[in-house]
Amino acid sequence: MKKTFKEIPGSIVAPKGFLASGVFCDIKRLGTGKGSNKGPKRDLALIISETPATVAGMFTTNQVCAAPVKICVERIKKGTAQVVVVNSGNANACTGKQGMADAREMVSFTERALNFPKGSALVGSTGRIGVTMPMDNVRAGIIEAATLLGSAVENANHAAEAIMTSDSRSKQIAIEFLRGGKKVRIGGICKGAGMIQPGMSPTGARPATLPHGGLHATMLCFITTDAAIDAKVLQLVLNEAVAHSFNRITVDGDMSTNDTVLVLANGLAGNKKFKVQSSEFRVFQAALNHVALELAKKIVRDGEGVHRVVTVRVDGARTVQDADAAARTVANSALVKTSWHGGDPNWGRIIDAIGYSSAKIVEKKVDIGYSAGGGKKILWSLKRGQPTKATFKQLCVAVAPKEFDLHINLNLGKAGAVMYACDLTEDYVDFNKGDVTDASSLGG
């Protein structure tokens, strides 16, 4: 299915009728913590549809969630929106009544600045927790961003930069494909490098959405499409896409207060709205899955201090929940992650993590092996709970690449799960430990 998707430039402005901009308005304040040492990096973005669009969203299930998340959860219920205003440098989380007032002001001020109807704006924030928003700066940024909106590639680049915090590079993608003789496009940008293990649901209520009909630094993602699609169908498609992508990644096992995915669909491609489970529906689902997964993988590869990226594949579990638990526990084990960094094929740490997960396992049935990324040739280090004849040298070679797959088969059922994970390095610790003698090093 992927082969039918052509990658194109422009990310969020590639679909018809979308504009974007990004500006610097000193939201974090230069010299006040990590991220502010990047100089006047753009820190406020606008993403707009020239016509009203259907909307769908997925939000953090952290019980402490930021004001922008609460605003979006409420606003997407009506199924339409036209603009998203996003800032970096301040999460507007744990900011109480003032934070809610500021988030409401961000959407209402944006609507007035663009002369859009009330209720048509959504908001996203990322950055420091527990600091009130510098609203004078925000308002100035919105006014400037409104004058710079455009559909050029550089407009998408500016918006992608504006949402970054500890990211070392922007994360963007756009694809196009044909449906019913009409050219349909999907574009997206995202950010995230630390505080990454999203667990999102359509309302922010637990549990997070898992694949295959299972239970349902900040990660932000904004996706645009010119496809014509009803809001309820768009939400259904987004649920599945996020379940297979953003809800399958981890850098450090920490779920943010602000994780958000928003999709706007304005229908300007001119395709006929498709029915659930029709061939057009399945193609659009595959396309959105592709966009979401590519963006999610970009987050893991750009994780704070990341040296190696590991795809953890669990098969043979009794249930999807068991498979997810085993994969997630291994992917977040500090001992496993540090061994990946050192190039140590330490299967003892892996089976230990599987054993203390909530998944049902039988020691004498567990298999553990390695392959190249996406490869089918597996070098097994453990079979049925016992070491194989694979040599230590062979295993070291298997875990030496910058990216590889870890295969775990519990041999108890037919369910499986995947987690896209990474190693734990000295650089991650150095970046996040702070220094109480240097106030500029503290804060997110």
- Positions annotated as catalytic residues are 218
The answer to whether residues 374 and 408 touch, using CB atoms and an 8 Å cutoff, is no
**Residue 348 burial (C-beta neighbours within 10 Å; 0-12, 13-18, 19+):** middle
The answer to whether residues 12 and 156 touch, using CB atoms and an 8 Å cutoff, is yes
- Return d(Cα 313, Cα 243) in angstroms, integer: 15
Angle at Cα 286 formed by Cα 315 and Cα 157, nearest 5°? 110
- Return d(Cα 25, Cα 241) in angstroms, integer: 33
Match 């496809």 to its residue by tokens.
227
- Return d(Cα 383, Cα 366) in angstroms, integer: 6
In total, the chain counts a number of residues equal to 444
Q: Which residues, listed in sequence order, are joined to residue 431 by a DSSP beta bridge?
A: none
The answer to whether residues 354 and 361 touch, using CB atoms and an 8 Å cutoff, is yes
- Which residue in 6, 348, 61 sits closest to 186, CA to CA? 6
**Which distant-in-sequence residues (6+ apart) come within 8 Å of 204 by Cβ?**
59, 60, 61, 65, 69, 70, 73
Q: Which two tokens stand for residue 199?
A: 């667990």
